[in-house]
Amino acid sequence: MKEGQRGPRYVGKHREPIISPPRIMKKNQPCGLQAKPPQTERTARRSRLERTVRALGGVFAPTKDFDDERELVDRLIASETAPLTTHRAWLQRHGLAFAAPDTLSPAELPAELRRLILALAFARVFLSYTDHLSDSALYGRLWEDVLEADEPDLPRIEDEAFHWDLSQGGTGDPAVWLTYYASVDDRDNWAAEFPDEPLPVQQPCPFDRDKDLPQPYATSEPL
């Protein structure tokens, strides 16, 4: 089965504006930017971001990582020509580094996982479909896959976000989604479309984390 055949869900990771409904998009596809906010709003946002990064143990670096006054077309061009950086390197610019999974004790893991999730939100990286993963497994995925993902080194503005669907392991295999997240109608439709492929037994998610994850449209501060 080809990736993206499951219907209107996030597929893998992608970058999209938060002002339009979720839809399947290609990697690094920015679009739909809003009008440039007035200076007072940009100043207020930088103040919020500075409080957030300090609470996470980092430093708000004097970079142009958060403001972009270019128009949509110019930003689209920039996304194709800009040098790449990883989310790990971007966070390190602001003094945010994270322990390797095998160095964390069970007692340290929950707090470090929460700090990493909030730091990713600070970098406009948001997660979904994590409730099938233990804290240890999720931290490992974030450390190995999400932090190492490379993206155009452009300002992280409020109108755009990187979305990671953790129900996939990068192969497009729908087994996890069908097992834990698909509705009855989703499963019936999938079985009708792919009658020769086995349908996994539906199971409840063993964890309850997704409802508390940061969202790109949240109006309140996470800390």
Q: Where are the domains of the chain?
A: 13-172, 174-205
Contact 167, 129 (CB under 8 A): yes
**pLDDT value at residue 71:** 63
3-state secondary structure of 25: coil
pLDDT band at residue 20 under the 50/70/90 scheme = very low
Cα angle, residue 141 at apex, residues 101 and 176 outer, rounded to 5°: 140
Report pLDDT digits (tens) over 42-55. 677 677 777 877 78
**pLDDT value at residue 72:** 62
Q: CA nearest 88: which of 143, 138, 37, 35?
A: 143
CB atoms closer than 10 angstroms to residue 120 = 22
Region 76-83: mean pLDDT is 77
Residue with tokens 């920015």: 30
27 has pLDDT over 50: no
* Tokens, residue 36: 């440039």
139 has pLDDT over 80: yes
**pLDDT value at residue 17:** 40
Contact 19, 31 (CB under 8 A): no
pLDDT band at residue 173 under the 50/70/90 scheme = confident
**pLDDT value at residue 70:** 62
36 has pLDDT over 60: no
Across 63-72, 86-95, 129-138, 209-218, which has the greatest mean pLDDT?
A: 129-138
Main-chain phi, psi angles of 87, to 5 degrees: -60, -35
**pLDDT value at residue 65:** 65
Q: What is the C-alpha separation between 180 and 201, in angstroms, rounded?
A: 9
Q: What is the C-alpha separation between 146 and 149, in angstroms, rounded?
A: 5
Contact 29, 14 (CB under 8 A): yes
12 has pLDDT over 50: no
3-state secondary structure of 20: coil
